[in-house]
Amino acid sequence: MITVRRAMLGTTLMVVAALALSGCRLIVKTVPLGDAGRPLGSPAASPTPAPSPSGKPTYGKVVMNCDLILSTAHAAELTPSLTPDPSYQPKAGSLGADMQAKGAHVCGWANKAKSASIEVALALGSPAAITLAEAAAAASGVTAPPAGAQAAYFTRVGKVGQAEIFLGSYWIETSSTSFDTAVTASDFYSVMLQDLRSAGG
């Protein structure tokens, strides 16, 4: 079980229309989106979504350092402490893998024994893409604490807890077997959003 020290949550997060990430290189290479992408075993999005913005749903390719998503200091303060896993790849068929195929940057952190880990995927989408992704997340999950973002949703896929966070043009996924509830997940992604905001100055 990964726990977040409450002292890490002291910084107040501001709601912003978009996330500015200095040091993050965004390659604007749009890729047509077929569907919003769901993890294996999750229910299909049956409700009719609200009218989406005009234009095709597309994603840009995101290239950035993982320590801008979660700082080395904050990763070390987790219990157990985690370090970046440079060889990490999302599980085939998972939401993280689907997002990666759409241009998202995926990072993983683990402890030395590989008994605890966290995944984060960061995607940059057009308004239509973000609308579709959020509608699918809302249909398959429950509302989670936004922690400074515009919206967040939580679901469980087998033993893995998964949160999807929406902030302007960004769609962020984070998952771990340690995320047993939406609150547990939000303890982590509130710190992660703090680091992303810090990276943007």
Residue 11 lies in a domain: no
Q: Is residue 135 part of a domain?
A: yes
Provide the residue range defining the domain that includes 181. Answer: 20-32+57-199
Would you say residue 9 lies in a domain?
no
Domain at 130, CATH number: 3.40.1000
Residue 178: the pLDDT is 93
Residue 166 lies in a domain: yes
Closest residue by Cα to residue 24 from 122, 109, 149, 169: 122
- Tally of CB atoms within 10 A around 193: 25
Question: Is residue 122 in some structural domain?
Answer: yes
Q: Flag whether 8 is in a domain.
A: no
Distance separating alpha carbons of residues 182 and 189, to the nearest angstrom:
10
Question: pTM above the 0.75 mark?
Answer: yes
Per the domain annotation, does 2 fall within a domain? no
pLDDT at residue 53, rounded to an integer: 55
5 part of a folded domain:
no
Find, among 147, 170, 188, 163, the residue nearest to 15 by Cα: 147
* Ordered mean pLDDT values, 10 residues apiece, the chain (201 residues): 57 32 35 36 40 76 94 88 92 96 97 90 97 97 95 96 96 96 95 89 40
Runs of H (alpha helix) within 80-157: 95-101, 127-140
The number of folded domains in the chain is 1
